[in-house]
């Protein structure tokens, strides 16, 4: 068969980097609010419920079908045009939000609130369709190759955006105004759109090659009109129903919590919003140096290890690698103990370690799905871990159990997405993936709308007798009930993953089989 651009590994990964920049910037904008919740409340004069309303507004247009419409448009217009239009929409929404908090439309609370919500609504439509578009692009380039790993790395870029947004936003707002944090996040989206424009050249070229070699092209996909019968077939497919419901319930338990996690740590365990005595830059410097050091050691280890002849390695090499990597990791923690001791008492920085951890774990689990399969089982384990995480963070009060809860949450947040998104591409044909992901994201947005707002509203409600003390900073929010409510979502997720495994056995999509076929 004639080769196309996607048969070159280097080009596949380059394309992944180009399109993932959009995920990095839009996830940054989506999640950086969590790092400055307290500051936003003080500067804009809003309550927890109103903060929840702004976060929840990201989903307002999506709950009434905007992503499905976006997915259908994507399936008809193709990646290039849809990417530009919806990427541009997310940029516009971000600019409006930034202008709102800068007081461009007026500096009274209700004007700021209305325009912040307007910006988030537009941003929400754009970012979700961008996410569908990026996922479909990965399928186009990686199907039959390392698709789960590519999706996991792509999610890793997004998580890096989430983590950095949460961790850096308080520093950007440190001058006493939240406005720079908003402008910076909006500019990032603009820069990533430039990367997407570069990608368009590769997309044009591969489509030309695919049509020359008789493979179905974007153009042919576009010509196929969206048929309602396809949509009906999709939403009556048992495996698709379970995976879509799992997507809704699982993400409702995770994304909203991230928007409150820094505040939870500050209020429950007495963490702070400010950094300690050592100074940001000294700490940042030692973190970068320490990380560079560990990479050099790993490189030396990798190189010397690859020189050992195969016959000598046998089974001992796995144990040896594990031991060396553990020692290096402990050394890393030891060298950076000052950095960690300051970070682990800071709410936004500690919370940012959750998405940060997933950057490492999601590709590891993605690679396992590629090579060994077990996607449905991994989704069950991930959901069960969520239950443990939320019990630790709600009914118990010990800070070490809190850390353990955060680690479990990070692992769950890596396991389920790493297994879920490639699994959809097994259940649904490539030219209907836009509609399938769009449907899943719509359900997900229903859940997010309820829980982004619901946590804030419930928080205000269960703390209603001490709201004035909380405002005067003489009392703290009690997060027990809102987090316990999320543990229940974990139980439902585990059940849905189990039902998915059963449905797959009947329908034979092979979700438990390895993904690499070429």
Ligand X SMILES: NCCCC[C@H](NC(=O)[C@@H](N)CCCCN)C(=O)O
For binding to ligand X (CB under 6 A), which residues are involved? 27, 30-31, 128, 131, 134-135, 151, 154-155, 158, 162, 251, 255, 417, 421, 441, 444
Q: Least distance from C-beta 151 to ligand X, angstroms?
A: 5
Closer residue to ligand X (CB): 89 or 294: 89
In angstroms, the Cα distances linking 499 to 146, 242, 245, 493 are 27, 7, 11, 10
* 254 backbone dihedrals φ, ψ, rounded to 5°: -110, -55
Closer residue to ligand X (CB): 420 or 483: 420
Q: Least distance from C-beta 123 to ligand X, angstroms?
A: 11
Q: Least distance from C-beta 25 to ligand X, angstroms?
A: 11
Length of the chain: 518
Is 493 in contact with 250 (CB distance < 8 Å)?
yes
Closer residue to ligand X (CB): 96 or 134: 134
DSSP type of residue 346: B
Encoded tokens for 423? 């699994």
The enclosing H or E element of 154 equals helix 147-172
> Contacts by 301-304 with C-beta closer than 8 Å and gap 24+?
301/325, 301/328
Q: Is 395 left (phi over 0), alpha (psi -120 to 50) or beta?
A: alpha
Closer residue to ligand X (CB): 423 or 458: 423
Q: Least distance from C-beta 129 to ligand X, angstroms?
A: 10
Residue 446: name the closest of 83, 133, 137, 61 by CA: 61
Closer residue to ligand X (CB): 100 or 166: 166
* Max Cα–Cα distance, the chain, nearest Å: 73
Closer residue to ligand X (CB): 339 or 353: 353
Q: Which residues contact 113 (CB under 8 A, 6 or more apart)?
A: 44, 46, 50, 53, 54
Closer residue to ligand X (CB): 128 or 218: 128
Is 230 in contact with 439 (CB distance < 8 Å)?
no
Q: Least distance from C-beta 302 to ligand X, angstroms?
A: 28
**Distance from C-alpha of 167 to C-alpha of 161, rounded to nearest angstrom:** 10
**Distance from C-alpha of 441 to C-alpha of 64, rounded to nearest angstrom:** 12
Residue 514: name the closest of 98, 149, 259 by CA: 149
Closer residue to ligand X (CB): 30 or 51: 30
Which segments of 463-479 does DSSP mark as H helices, in order? Answer: 467-471
Residue 333: name the closest of 353, 315, 347, 352 by CA: 353
Closer residue to ligand X (CB): 340 or 441: 441
Q: Least distance from C-beta 214 to ligand X, angstroms?
A: 28
Q: Least distance from C-beta 439 to ligand X, angstroms?
A: 12
Closer residue to ligand X (CB): 441 or 453: 441
Q: Least distance from C-beta 493 to ligand X, angstroms?
A: 14
Q: Least distance from C-beta 358 to ligand X, angstroms?
A: 9
Q: Which residues contact 270 (CB under 8 A, 6 or more apart)?
A: 476
**Distance from C-alpha of 412 to C-alpha of 384, rounded to nearest angstrom:** 8
Q: Least distance from C-beta 233 to ligand X, angstroms?
A: 22
């Amino acid at each position: 068969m004639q080769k196309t651009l996607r048969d070159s590994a280097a080009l596949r990964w380059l394309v992944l980097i180009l399109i993932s920049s959009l995920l990095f910037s839009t996830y940054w904008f989506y999640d950086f609010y969590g790092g400055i919740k307290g500051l936003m409340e003080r500067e804009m004069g809003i309550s927890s419920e109103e903060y929840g309303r702004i976060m929840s507004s990201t989903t307002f247009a999506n709950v009434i079908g905007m992503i499905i419409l976006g997915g259908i448009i994507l399936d008809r217009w193709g990646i290039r045009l849809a990417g530009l239009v919806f990427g541009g929409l997310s940029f516009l929404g971000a600019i409006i939000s930034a202008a709102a908090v800068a007081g461009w439309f007026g500096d009274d609370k209700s004007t700021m609130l209305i325009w912040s919500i307007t910006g988030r609504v537009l941003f929400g439509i754009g970012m979700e369709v961008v996410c569908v578009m990026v996922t479909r692009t990965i399928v186009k380039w990686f199907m039959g190759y390392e698709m789960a790993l590519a999706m996991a790395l792509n999610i890793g870029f997004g998580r890096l955006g989430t983590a950095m947004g949460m961790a850096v936003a308080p520093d950007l707002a440190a001058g006493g105004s939240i406005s720079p944090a908003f402008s910076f996040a909006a500019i990032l989206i603009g820069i990533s759109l430039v990367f997407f424009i570069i990608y368009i050249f590769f997309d044009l070229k591969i489509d030309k090659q695919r049509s020359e070699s008789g493979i179905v092209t974007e153009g042919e996909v576009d010509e196929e009109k969206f048929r309602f019968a396809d949509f009906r077939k999709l939403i009556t497919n048992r495996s698709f129903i379970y995976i879509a419901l799992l997507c809704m319930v699982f993400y409702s338990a995770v994304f909203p919590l991230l928007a409150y996690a820094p505040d939870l740590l500050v209020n429950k365990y007495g963490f702070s919003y400010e950094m300690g005595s050592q100074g940001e830059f000294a700490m940042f410097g030692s973190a970068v140096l320490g990380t560079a050091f560990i990479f050099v050691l790993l490189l030396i280890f990798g190189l010397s290890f690859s020189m050992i002849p195969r016959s000598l390695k046998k089974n001992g090499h796995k144990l040896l690698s594990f031991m060396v990597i553990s020692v290096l990791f402990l050394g890393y923690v030891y060298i950076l103990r000052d950095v960690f001791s300051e970070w682990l008492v800071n709410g936004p920085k500690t919370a940012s370690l959750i998405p940060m951890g997933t950057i490492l774990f999601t590709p590891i689990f993605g690679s396992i799905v590629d090579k060994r399969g077990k996607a449905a089982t991994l989704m069950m384990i991930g959901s069960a871990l969520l239950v443990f995480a939320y019990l630790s963070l709600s009914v118990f009060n010990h800070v070490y159990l809190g850390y353990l809860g955060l680690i479990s949450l990070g692992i769950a947040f890596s396991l389920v997405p790493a297994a879920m998104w490639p699994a959809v591409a097994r259940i649904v044909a490539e030219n209907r993936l836009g509609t399938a992901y769009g449907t899943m994201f719509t359900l997900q947005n229903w859940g997010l709308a309820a829980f982004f707002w619901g946590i804030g509203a419930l928080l205000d409600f269960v703390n209603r007798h001490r709201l004035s003390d909380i405002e005067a900073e003489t009392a703290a929010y009690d997060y027990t009930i809102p987090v316990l409510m999320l543990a229940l979502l974990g139980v439902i997720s585990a059940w849905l993953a189990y039902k998915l495994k059963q449905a797959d056995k009947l329908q034979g999509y092979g979700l438990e089989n390895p993904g690499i076929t070429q």
